[in-house]
A and B are shown apart, each in its own frame.
Chain A
């Protein structure tokens, strides 16, 4: 099977992110593979281990995007492609989906394209379904369980009400949720292999497309309004006394 995992590099989830002069800063926090994309790489590797084939990682970004790519290669992906082009800065998700769909078409013969459910920076969660729509492939999103019988790929989708089992013939786009199971840690051998790997960089000219137009713009980015709370510490001589004072305070807030 020809398997692709699309990944993104983001500031670590423990980063303190602030806006300074309209510029987003995450201090000295590391840039890492988007946590949800680790599940995408894991699912790609498991599908390959069961059914054979190759796993290619695709990422869109600058040269520094390579940390996330190296992580995916160290987990066991066979090769990677970095799509990098000066015109790609500040594109909206619709435009990024066009770039990814073009890359998947250029690779050719792809059976499954995996994504994480969303990236923890922009939080939009649109790219998997939009890429699927552009490719005219079924989107089996929010997958917690994946099975493949050689013809149809079936996923259990994690929704508000529980699980919805949906199947489709290949090729398909699949996006992953955390219920899928822990992604593996890179092995020592994997890290060594990844550090030596050559990652080809594709420009939009290589993909044969011009810069896709963005329709979404961001007139402003703000720090959240500061939370002006002073914490009132409730104390007392017994748990019952503390609990009864606290319960009365909460009832006084009229939130129940």
Chain B
């Protein structure tokens, strides 16, 4: 099957799920990596080393910044000329959007956030979580190209082969700058840290992290401010463990809604759905909408005062106790054993 893989990147830095998509594409047939941007030719070299047989490169000033209409138009034009059977995208903000729009241009459909791909003749049958993983469904698409976005960390990243090369084809963009209706006005970066979606390890905090009665807030705070101050002290313990383990920091919806941490940290049905190798839940009771977002993690560890908290039902290891005592001790123990 003629398979294309869209390489999502930010300022020339590929998102890891792009390479995982090449890995998934190699199981279907020859892989053409599609790269859009300006001064992104180094990505073509990387794509060959990751296993791409061919690279289609559109390198143009109009593609310096991601804009849905311009990126989608170039993709649709290239597809119309070459008719691939399958197009794989990483399920990133950009990947999902280009896939969505290209499906309209090409009169086909998209299967989103897929965790497994099977082949049945010339059709692919995918498995994808719905209801944030409370259910799974099989999906198939009756028209070509069959467009699929792949969930991060669901497919293996290929082993890079240094010096591997292939055919590089350059194409021109479909839209001129004057025809693009949207304009990028700037960027502001988020607080630095490991991205939840790509993280191997996530350390999360919930409502319980504000619950340390022995902490005396500074004078002059009202009740709500004092609660948030307490929660910030608690999240410092969560962050300390996370930085020791090179982990991302997660949070429950309760913690986000209470204003303890920004929404970008939220794990669950209305936050991010994650599947790390290790998930450490601190002071999180395990509401169904949180469990939906993390239950496929390989190893789950729960630290909670309440022995009946539902989080223990999905956990491999549990500590019934005071996270304000356990967390610093756990950070210390890992620092010793990991030699940090």
Write the residues of chain A forming the contact surface with B, with a CB cutoff of 8 angstroms: 11, 13-19, 24, 35-36, 92-94, 97, 120-126, 129-130, 132-134, 138-142, 154, 156-169, 177-179, 214-224, 227, 229, 231-235, 239-240, 242-244, 246-251, 253, 255-256
Question: Across the interface, do A162 and B299 meet the contact criterion of CB distance under 8 Å?
Answer: no
Closest to A182 in B: B257
Which residues of B are found within 8 Å of A249, using beta-carbon distances? 317
Write the residues of chain B forming the contact surface with A, with a CB cutoff of 8 angstroms: 10, 15, 65-69, 72, 92-94, 96-97, 99-101, 103-105, 107-113, 125, 129-143, 181-190, 195, 197, 200-201, 245, 256, 262-264, 266, 269-271, 277-278, 287-289, 295-296, 298-302, 312-322, 325-326, 328-330, 332-334, 337-338
Minimal beta-carbon separation of A36 from chain B (angstroms): 7
Q: How far is the CA of A158 from the CA of B99 in the complex (A)?
A: 18
Can you name 14 A-B residue pairings with CB atoms under 8 Å? A16-B134, A16-B288, A123-B129, A130-B100, A134-B104, A157-B93, A160-B197, A164-B186, A222-B135, A231-B302, A232-B318, A240-B332, A253-B299, A255-B200
Question: Across the interface, do A141 and B139 meet the contact criterion of CB distance under 8 Å?
Answer: no
Q: How far is the CA of A130 from the CA of B172 in the complex (A)?
A: 24
Q: A120-B132, A158-B93 are in contact. List 11 more A-B contacts (CB 8 A).
A: A121-B131, A160-B197, A161-B190, A163-B190, A178-B270, A217-B141, A240-B329, A243-B326, A243-B329, A246-B330, A251-B337
- The 5 A-B residue pairs with the shortest CB-CB distance in the complex, in nearest-first order: A243-B329, A162-B189, A247-B333, A255-B277, A162-B190
Minimal beta-carbon separation of A25 from chain B (angstroms): 10
Question: Across the interface, do B317 and A246 meet the contact criterion of CB distance under 8 Å?
Answer: yes
Question: Across the interface, do B112 and A125 meet the contact criterion of CB distance under 8 Å?
Answer: yes
Question: Across the interface, do B110 and A124 meet the contact criterion of CB distance under 8 Å?
Answer: yes
Question: Across the interface, do B138 and A142 meet the contact criterion of CB distance under 8 Å?
Answer: no
B interface, by DSSP: helix, strand, loop or mixed? Answer: mixed
Question: Across the interface, do B182 and A222 meet the contact criterion of CB distance under 8 Å?
Answer: no
Question: Across the interface, do A223 and B135 meet the contact criterion of CB distance under 8 Å?
Answer: yes
Q: How far is the CA of A154 from the CA of B185 in the complex (A)?
A: 9
Minimal beta-carbon separation of A140 from chain B (angstroms): 7
Question: Across the interface, do B133 and A224 meet the contact criterion of CB distance under 8 Å?
Answer: yes
Question: Across the interface, do A224 and B136 meet the contact criterion of CB distance under 8 Å?
Answer: yes
Q: How far is the CA of A236 from the CA of B271 in the complex (A)?
A: 35
Which residues of B are found within 8 Å of A140, using beta-carbon distances? 182
Closest to A234 in B: B319
